[in-house]
């Protein structure tokens, strides 16, 4: 399901959080589905269960998962999460537009830069 890059400087729990966030937002892990138990995921990834617990705690604090006492951990509704991510993305775009105007970059040039970046990323 997920793989850890031990060469990455990012802490393992952050890698787990990011990978689960992507799986949830892409609905590979659908809303309401049960997450792997802390113990089973720790065994699968050969890492300390406390690391998984920290990742799950972060995911829960950010609204990606929720716990049901005695039943396990489940994926939260992703529609609201996607909307929040879009709002965050729009905020970043606005900040970039302000920066572009300060640098006197024309609108058309910005659009072309965005399109070129989009094409580059699509190819990877």
Q: Is 34 helix (H, G, I), strand (E, B) or coil?
A: strand
The model carries a pTM of: 0.77
Beta-bridge partners for 66:
74
- List pLDDT tens digits, range 57-105: 999 999 999 999 999 999 999 888 888 889 999 999 999 999 999 999 9
pLDDT at 123 exceeding the cut of 90: no
b or e along 46-72 (b: 16 or more beta carbons within 10 Å of the residue's beta carbon)?
Answer: ebeeebbebbbebbeeeebbeeeeeee
The answer on pLDDT for 32 being more than 60 is yes
| Joined tokens for residue 122 | 């699509």
């Amino acid at each position: 399901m997920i793989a850890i890059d031990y060469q990455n400087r990012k802490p393992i729990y952050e890698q787990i959080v990011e990978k689960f966030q992507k799986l949830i937002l892409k609905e590979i892990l659908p809303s309401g589905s049960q997450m792997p138990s802390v113990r089973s995921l720790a065994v699968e990834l050969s890492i300390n269960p406390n690391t998984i617990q920290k990742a799950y705690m972060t995911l829960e604090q950010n609204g990606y998962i929720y716990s049901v006492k005695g039943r396990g951990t489940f994926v939260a509704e992703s529609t609201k999460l996607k909307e929040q991510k879009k709002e965050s993305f729009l905020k970043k775009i606005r900040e970039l537009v302000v920066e572009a105007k300060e640098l006197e970059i024309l609108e058309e040039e910005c659009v072309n830069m965005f399109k070129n970046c989009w094409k580059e990323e699509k190819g990877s």
